[in-house]
Chain A
Amino acid sequence: MSGRRLTWPQRLALAAPYLWLAVFFAAPFAIIVRLSFSQSVLAQPPYAPQFDFGAGLADVLERVREFTVDNYALFFSDALYVQSYVSSLRIALLSTALALAIAYPMALAMSRAPARLKPALILLAIAPFWTSFLIRVYAWIAILKDEGFLNAALKGLGVIDAPLQIFATEAAVVIGIAYSYLPFMVLPIFNALDRQDRSLVEAALDLGASRASAFWTVTFPLSLPGVFAGALLVFIPAVGEFVIPDLLGGSDTLTIGRTLWNEFFANRDWPVAAAAAILLLAVLVAPLIFFERAQMRAEGRR
């Protein structure tokens, strides 16, 4: 496949973003891959000077060439790491499901709202996305804590006697992720539902279908592409999430993102952190490729 020849001004314009991404995105990525196969000894001391990178790139590459799969083996032999892997996926799946359970009825109601209200509803659904992520997660600490708003409200209503322990558990993490990424789920589903031809449902009703069966046989199947897109947009960041499990989860709420963080910052074991990064991407490869394809297809369709 021979590419189109570009003119010189075009090449110059392309060179800047291309080189930037090559140096600050592609190359670092190659370094992570290499480091994940190198000896832990290399990175035992905490910081950069001891890392010996100062001694020159050749020296580093020399050492990195001493390949080892120990860092990966660790992840499959140590129960703690296996657990972090499994619980990352479980948390991501549960929070995607929770976000879907909230977003679908919401998107459905939005798509049925009067046309003049729709732009305002869409704006209201996206606006929280523009506010600080950290602050939105922080808000949930005050709500879910043992002496927080939720427990106070439930106690006030006489629903519970002893406070529910939600904060510092996996449930809190799931709620936090579903809340933070809700706009990503609502918008694709709303778009899919809003674009639907209403006459299809009317035809089903005319032919004797009940409202419920018209929904399940016509409306819902037609909205599936939106559901799928939304689920990916929540699931992908949820798997690699660090901030939410760290702030809302307990010390036993392990995720890959947290493991990577701790190996890097607390244990100063950079090769193991790099291996965690690669394994994290391995989980995401299938959804990522799917996402890229969808992007490319959307781009080609115009």
Chain B
Amino acid sequence: MTNRLGYGGLLVLLFAFAFLYVPIGLLVAYSFNASKLVTVWGGFSTKWYASLLQNEALLSAAWVSLRVAVASAFIASVLGTLAALALARYGRFRGRTAFAAMIYAPMVMPEVVIGLALLLMFVTLDVERGLWTVIIAHATLGMCFVAVVVHARLARFDRSLEEAAMDLGAGPVQTFALVTLPLIAPAIVAGFLLAFTISLDDFVLASFVSGPGSTTLPMRIYAQVRLGVTPEINALSTLLLGFVGVVVLLGLAFGRLLRRRG
């Protein structure tokens, strides 16, 4: 097949990717701006990164966010994998339709609605809001994404491998641990990463369900952004972009390693 892209197509791609990446590029470039004005270049400087390290409030919020993201992604991975197994392997069990609806609905429901609903739930149960309520909120959203990613993987792989293990005398638990789990491990890793980044990025859910002392990084960033654009936020954004980029790349590499061994 010949290349039919042509100059017009090339131009379109150039424009489209410029649209996607120029805003992020400008943000990163101006984090090294010496001038306090965000849009006027005043020479190269890393002073904003230095002042970032002195910002106690931001650092503690980052620490909160990191703990919430790890914990909620872990819970989401376990629950989401179990949910995917049920959807893919249990046939038409009773309540499946309702179960599937509960898996898909949170992904398309507006975050403001989920956040408000969860908060009302916590208030009804008289649960004190804090780190754990944020973790629960993020785990709930994250598990749905994990379920979809793992389900897609389960649907694709050859079921006869599991049946062969069973025929050879492995019990259901053994079959799962020795055959199914290694096969879906890359998908679980991908799901974990997705849940992790969703949690790290979430502002709306956290705003509803967090309590005193559990202010997350996006909540801090939001509060500062509303006051205006500052080079410090640019620096923070750049670090965050780099951090997520490294985590995702490491995760993908790890997933590939698992796949090769599996």
Binding site for B on A (CB under 8 A): 2-7, 9-10, 13-14, 16-18, 20-29, 31-32, 35, 48, 51, 53-54, 57, 60, 102-103, 105-106, 108-110, 112-115, 121, 124-125, 128, 130-136, 138-143, 145, 147-149, 152, 179, 182, 198, 236-237, 239-243, 246-247, 257, 260-261, 264-265, 270, 273-274, 277, 280-281, 284, 288, 291-292, 295-296, 299, 302
Q: A21-B140, A35-B120 are in contact. Are A295 and B39 (CB under 8 A)?
A: no
Residue of A nearest to B96 (CB): A3
Question: Once the chains bind, are A16 and B229 in contact (CB under 8 Å)?
Answer: no
Given contact pairs A115-B1, A138-B27, a sample of 17 additional A-B residue pairs in the complex whose CB atoms are under 8 Å apart: A17-B86, A25-B102, A32-B116, A32-B117, A54-B126, A130-B248, A134-B221, A134-B222, A139-B23, A139-B26, A142-B229, A148-B39, A179-B20, A243-B204, A260-B113, A280-B112, A288-B105
What residues of B have a CB within 8 angstroms of the CB of A240 in the complex? 109-113
Residue of B nearest to A55 (CB): B126
Our pick among A29, A51, A141 for the contact of B229 (Cβ within 8 Å) is A141
Secondary structure class of chain A's binding surface, majority of residues: helix
Residue of B nearest to A133 (CB): B201
Bound CA–CA A280/B114 (angstroms): 12
* Least CB distance, A237 to chain B, in whole angstroms: 7
What residues of B have a CB within 8 angstroms of the CB of A145 in the complex? 39, 229
Q: A25-B106, A26-B102 are in contact. Are A106 and B16 (CB under 8 A)?
A: yes
Residue of A nearest to B208 (CB): A264
Does chain A have a CB within 8 A of B80? yes
Question: Once the chains bind, are B23 and A114 in contact (CB under 8 Å)?
Answer: no
* Least CB distance, B230 to chain A, in whole angstroms: 10
Does chain A have a CB within 8 A of B53? no
Bound CA–CA A190/B233 (angstroms): 35
Bound CA–CA A240/B96 (angstroms): 28
Does chain A have a CB within 8 A of B35? no
Q: How many A-B residue pairs have CB under 8 A?
A: 257
Question: Once the chains bind, are B172 and A9 in contact (CB under 8 Å)?
Answer: yes
Q: A51-B123, A145-B229 are in contact. Are A6 and B110 (CB under 8 A)?
A: no
Mask: chain B, 70-114; 1 = CB below 8 Å from A; 0 = not: 000000001110110111001111111001111111101111111
Q: A16-B82, A132-B244, A138-B237 are in contact. Are A109 and B5 (CB under 8 A)?
A: yes
Bound CA–CA A6/B96 (angstroms): 12
Question: Once the chains bind, are A143 and B143 in contact (CB under 8 Å)?
Answer: no
Binding site for A on B (CB under 8 A): 1, 3-6, 8-10, 12-13, 16-17, 19-21, 23-24, 26-27, 30, 38-39, 78-80, 82-83, 85-87, 90-96, 99-106, 108-114, 116-118, 120-121, 123-124, 126, 136-137, 139-140, 143, 147, 155, 172-173, 197, 200-201, 203-204, 207-208, 218, 221-222, 225-226, 229, 233, 237, 240-241, 244-245, 248
Question: Once the chains bind, are B9 and A132 in contact (CB under 8 Å)?
Answer: no
Secondary structure class of chain B's binding surface, majority of residues: helix
Question: Once the chains bind, are A242 and B204 in contact (CB under 8 Å)?
Answer: yes
What residues of A have a CB within 8 angstroms of the CB of B207 in the complex? 265
Question: Once the chains bind, are A292 and B104 in contact (CB under 8 Å)?
Answer: yes
Our pick among A3, A198, A246, A265 for the contact of B94 (Cβ within 8 Å) is A3
Question: Once the chains bind, are B117 and A29 in contact (CB under 8 Å)?
Answer: yes
Question: Once the chains bind, are A17 and B83 in contact (CB under 8 Å)?
Answer: yes
| Interface pairs A-B: 8 shortest CB-CB | A240-B110, A3-B94, A28-B117, A28-B121, A106-B16, A17-B83, A109-B9, A139-B23
Question: Once the chains bind, are A57 and B124 in contact (CB under 8 Å)?
Answer: yes
What residues of B have a CB within 8 angstroms of the CB of A53 in the complex? 123-124, 126
Choose among A24, A60, A296 the residue with the greatest number of B CB atoms under 10 Å from its CB.
A24
Q: A4-B93, A35-B120 are in contact. Are A136 and B23 (CB under 8 A)?
A: yes
Bound CA–CA A4/B229 (angstroms): 57
Question: Once the chains bind, are A281 and B9 in contact (CB under 8 Å)?
Answer: no
What residues of B have a CB within 8 angstroms of the CB of A31 in the complex? 117, 120-121, 124
What residues of B have a CB within 8 angstroms of the CB of A110 in the complex? 13
Choose among A51, A109, A243 the residue with the greatest number of B CB atoms under 10 Å from its CB.
A109
Our pick among B6, B112, B121 for the contact of A257 (Cβ within 8 Å) is B112
Residue of A nearest to B24 (CB): A139
Q: A32-B117, A109-B13, A115-B1 are in contact. Are A291 and B108 (CB under 8 A)?
A: yes
Bound CA–CA A143/B19 (angstroms): 12
Bound CA–CA A89/B30 (angstroms): 35
* Least CB distance, B89 to chain A, in whole angstroms: 8
Bound CA–CA A138/B229 (angstroms): 8
Choose among A103, A142, A274 the residue with the greatest number of B CB atoms under 10 Å from its CB.
A142
Question: Once the chains bind, are B116 and A277 in contact (CB under 8 Å)?
Answer: yes
